[in-house]
Amino acid sequence: MDQAQELLQRVFGYPEFRGPQAEIIAHLVAGRDAMVLMPTGGGKSLCYQIPALLRPGCGVVISPLIALMQDQVAALCELDVRAAFLNSALDAAAAAAVEARLLAGQLDLLYIAPERLNTARCLELLARARIALFAIDEAHCVSQWGHDFRPDYLGLSVLHERFPEVPRIALTATADEITRADIRERLQLQDARLFSASFDRPNICYRINAKGSKPSAQLLDFLAQRRGQAGIVYCLSRRSVDETRIWLVQEGFPALAYHAGMDTGARAANQTRFQSEDGILMVATIAFGMGIDKPDVRFVAHLDLPKSIEGYYQETGRAGRDGLPAEAWLLYGIGDIMQQRRWIDESEASEAHQRLSRQKLDALVELCETVDCRRQRLLGYFGESIAPCGNCDNCLTPPATVDASEAARLALSAVYRTGQRFGVLHVIDVLLGKSSERMSSFGHDRLALFGKGRDQPQSFWRGLFRALIGQGLLVANPNLPGTLRLHESARELLNGSSELRVRAAQPR
């Protein structure tokens, strides 16, 4: 380990190892397999880079994004590490040169795209070379249960069969229990030792707010107090990225856009500006982010609900890599929940996969609805338990709650009486007593509870339905996308043997 320490200082310029890095390195150098869970920015790369330098032969790194591997290779070359990559960005001559260096033993690290590795030609090349280790970065991509499945990753299971004596390390920043188990199985890493660093990012303050009638005004309020700071604003669709950016520019913010519908050059130019200039706002879909290594991103704002806690955590993890105070700010509304539900219901995925997607969405909605510490929920989802954090909205200003059982019973009855085959907005209209042709065509204006909820505004009912969904009392009706039905667990509330407490007033 003295050698590892020496390399850390001389090559990488750091005084000491962080978290489990030293242990992981020793384990790999000894020729054993490892599975590493570490949050984004935790320092995963050194875990395989240093062993690759210490072991004879070249370390082969499988990484899903070309841009990411190019950055890493460029950074390593700056440090005089002999690194190269093989991917579709190279022409035949350049690729042949890299292959020659590998075979001549002149490479310490070689980054390969998974689709390339899967070719017979590439596997034969590796068989002729001396390999120090295989590192499978972003290993959650191998799992269909993960949030970022890449079919090309499935082929990586051959590594163990073709190269049984070469140690392997799989690394990921986001994997819940089921995804972890799947990674081990698919990569045949059942016996690999698990190393995990705490996922906590204590300098990030989490705030989650309900969407009001003007989400743009809420965002503007938030941004106005943070002028001059670099931040990312995530939107769900390309259209809302473009609209939000234009509107932010009109409001005087230096905002750029990034989404998969833009041409590659424009996208890359925006990414470079964001990385190199100060105080830029990047308005983006989740296409933006992997491989961003900008330490001083002060906040990550979500204008729409993500799909899962893993996705949310990965995206918010781009804030505050420098360890200074940073913020994660999310707006979510009932429309978001229903839309995500609809996408799941209408997707081509298998029944099991849809069920899992629903569970993931539910866990995220619970995080949004909770009146307890956000960080406790977040880390709890990844299997870590902590005391209330003191640095999230619920810890800083504990929300007052009220007993909303009566209203909740009315809302559940309205879902039931309308046949459990309508969306939230229609059911709320029934409660508010809104007459329309549509209403009378279903006969809903003749229901005894028609208009029984008039004493509360629509916003109250929306909040209440969010809470009912968040607590799992109302669930998606799988036969009719976009509609809700009662869950078993609603019975206790309906018959008066349990109560429902909700936030007293929706925070702004």
46 binds ligand ADP (CB under 6 A): yes
41 binds ligand ADP (CB under 6 A): yes
Among 23, 26, 32, 43, binds ligand ADP (CB under 6 A): 43
Q: Looking up tokens 């979500």, which residue turns up?
A: 302
45 binds ligand ADP (CB under 6 A): yes
Q: Is 87 exposed, middle or buried (0-12, 13-18, 19+ CB in 10 A)?
A: middle
Q: Cα separation of 488 and 17, whole Å?
A: 51
- 168-172 and 58-62 as β-strands: parallel, antiparallel, unpaired? unpaired
174 binds ligand ADP (CB under 6 A): no
Residue 483 CB neighbours (<10 A): 23
> CB under 6 A: which stretch of 16-24, 76-84, 183-191, 430-438 binds ligand ADP?
16-24
335 binds ligand ADP (CB under 6 A): no
Q: What is the CA radius of gyration of the chain?
A: 26
CB of 383 to ligand ADP, least distance (A): 18
Compute the C-alpha angle 410/412/416, nearest 5°: 115
> CB under 6 A: which stretch of 14-22, 96-104, 118-126, 182-190 binds ligand ADP?
14-22
> CB under 6 A: which stretch of 42-50, 115-123, 441-449, 489-497 binds ligand ADP?
42-50
Among 1, 3, 6, 18, binds ligand ADP (CB under 6 A): 18
Give the binding site for Zn ion (CB under 5 A). Answer: 373, 375, 389, 392, 395
Indicate which of ligand ADP, Zn ion, none lies near residue 375 (CB less than 5 to 8 Å, by partner kind).
Answer: Zn ion
CB of 293 to ligand ADP, least distance (A): 6
38 binds ligand ADP (CB under 6 A): yes
> CB under 6 A: which stretch of 12-20, 161-169, 230-238, 404-412 binds ligand ADP?
12-20
Long-range contacts of 238-241 (CB under 8 A, 24+ apart): 238/285, 240/303, 240/304, 241/283, 241/284, 241/285
Instruction: Tell me the CA distances in angstroms from 258 to 228, 332, 359, one per residue in order.
Output: 20, 21, 29
CB of 78 to ligand ADP, least distance (A): 12
Closest residue to ligand ADP using C-beta atoms: 43
Among 4, 25, 35, 40, binds ligand ADP (CB under 6 A): 40
For ligand ADP (CB under 6 A), the number of binding residues is 12
| SS3 state at 213 | coil
CB of 504 to Zn ion, least distance (A): 19
Indicate which of ligand ADP, Zn ion, none lies near residue 17 (CB less than 5 to 8 Å, by partner kind).
Answer: ligand ADP
Q: Cα separation of 496 and 412, whole Å?
A: 13
14 binds ligand ADP (CB under 6 A): yes
C-alpha torsion sign, points 503, 504, 506, 508: negative
Among 473, 469, 476, 365, smallest CA distance to 422 is for 476
- 109-112 and 58-62 as β-strands: parallel, antiparallel, unpaired? parallel
Q: Cα separation of 310 and 316, whole Å?
A: 10
Q: Cα separation of 145 and 261, whole Å?
A: 26
Q: Measured from the CB atom, is 82 or 294 closer to ligand ADP?
A: 294
Indicate which of ligand ADP, Zn ion, none lies near residue 373 (CB less than 5 to 8 Å, by partner kind).
Answer: Zn ion
42 binds ligand ADP (CB under 6 A): yes
Residues that bind ligand ADP (CB under 6 A): 14, 17-18, 21, 38, 40-46
